[in-house]
Structure 1
Amino acid sequence: MGQHAEIQQHRKKLKQGVYLTLTHLRINLGFIFPLAMLILGHMKLPLFVTGSALVLVGAGLRLYSAGVLRKDKRLQRTGPYALCRNPLFLGTIILMLGFAFLSGSWTLVVLTLVVFWSVYMWVILLEERWLLEVFGESYGEYLRTTPRLLPTFRSLSASFTRVPYSFAQARANHELKTTVAGVVGVLLFLVKYALELWILPFSLW
């Protein structure tokens, strides 16, 4: 019995270590990828417009989700959390895809999708086990009724229910930095491409 408990404790510590590693990884990737895209990017107008829209949508989804989330206090199932169980992560993936489109490279778009989807799915799977322990059957029901990451038509309609939003709560969840970073990122791409067009004109298409 003692040995079994020791093994379980070891597994728990291992999972916590993996989760912390993944958390650091996704945070670092959130800085590295946009910077690399800014350095390597070249203007392609249709992709730039698409990317700008995606960055704003992703940042907006994160800001909205953070404004209704009380971390660890209660299970949030309405508003953006009726759209999918992880709207903050979905917002980040959309945001990063936006930066990839801004770079004008389809290769970076595909690479970004693969990398961020893989990392976040791993994080989500670990979080789901913890949330089941914390919230029990209420989270189990949430698992069965709401998509993990990709919204459905049904969840989309459910997400339109009105929920109390708090800008102060979004700020408390440190989300304003992400929103500002997204807007600044688009502006940096715009400045870079404007300088390139001024110094060395080339086809936008």
Structure 2
Amino acid sequence: MSHRTRHLPEARNPVHKLIREMRYHEPSRQLLAMAYILVLAIMAEPGLVSLYWVGFSIAGLGILIRLWASGHVKKNKELATDGPYAYVRHPLYVGNILVLVGFCIASQLWWSIPVMIAFLWFYYPPAISYEDRKLHKLFGEQWENWSRDTYALWPKFKGRGFRFGGWSFRQSLMGNGEPLLVAYMIYCAWHLVVF
């Protein structure tokens, strides 16, 4: 049993336990998403140039959101409430979703959307639940006050103005290796159109 599922009720049977452990396994979520993006880039059939650019724009927005968020998060040390965290509790996940949607559109593969929806449904509800429980345990009342008015994935802008916050390239690189992920995604987008 992983540390992410330790506090959940006992699984009903071994199959349920295996599925639950898989849903909470963060490295497999990340590796599968990166592999899926590469598969879309390799198998793409970008017939309509306009759809490629729409998809690439959505993926680009997701990449920028991820880069912005990763320069703010200080895992388990400080509750990030500035920058993109002023608008949404899980901006890295929002960025991931936009990247996946963008690559699906740009690839123009009919099966990519249902596969992406299944992937998101399988991994993201448990990931969000775990992150919220962990942050609540670590930061208590501060997390409660922030989360009460900040949605998990849907940004709330009203009355918040623009808050770029104290973004740090070093934090983005050291904390998440985000610039390397950005380079990987840009390579996949380039591969999608060139080959």
TM-score, normalized by length of structure 1?
Answer: 0.78
Aligned ranges 1:1-205 → 2 under 5 Å: 11-12=6-7, 18=21, 21-43=24-46, 44-154=48-158, 158=160, 160-173=162-175, 174-192=177-195
The answer for unaligned runs of 5 or more in structure 2 is: 12-19
Gap change, CA 1:20 and 1:117, over 3 Å in 2? closer
Single out whichever of 31-40 and 57-66 deviates more from structure 2.
Answer: 31-40
- Give the deviation of 1:117 after TM superposition: 4.6
Q: Contact (CA 8 Å) 2:23, 2:123: kept in 1 or not?
A: no
Question: Which protein is richer in helix relative to its size?
Answer: 1
Aligned residues with identical type, % of pairs: 26
- The answer to whether the 8 Å contact 1:97/1:113 transfers is no
Q: Which secondary structure does the structure 1 equivalent of 2:100 belong to?
A: helix
Q: Which amino acid aligns with 1:171?
A: L
Q: CA RMSD in A?
A: 2.4
- Counterpart Cα distance in 1 of 2:122 and 2:145: 25
| Separation (CA, whole Å) in 2 of partners of 1:161 and 1:28 | 31
Q: Do the aligned partners of 1:84 and 1:151 also contact (CA within 8 Å) in 2?
A: yes
Letter in 1 for 2:168: S
Unaligned residue ranges in structure 1 (runs of 5+): 1-9, 193-205
The whole-number CA distance in structure 1 between the counterparts of 2:84 and 2:101 is: 20
Distance 1:19 1:39, change over 3 A: closer
Tell me: CA distance 1:169–1:20, structure 2 relative to 1, closer, same or farther (3 Å).
Answer: farther
- Shift of residue 68, structure 1, vs aligned partner: 1.6
Q: Distance between the aligned counterparts of 2:146 and 2:110, measured in 1?
A: 36
Aligned in 2, Cα 1:51/1:21: closer, same or farther, shift over 3 Å?
same
Q: Distance in 2 between matches of 1:117 and 1:149?
A: 13
Q: Which has the larger Rg?
A: 1
Distance, in Å, in 2 between the alignment partners of 1:127 and 1:41 is 33
Task: Give the aligned length.
Answer: 180
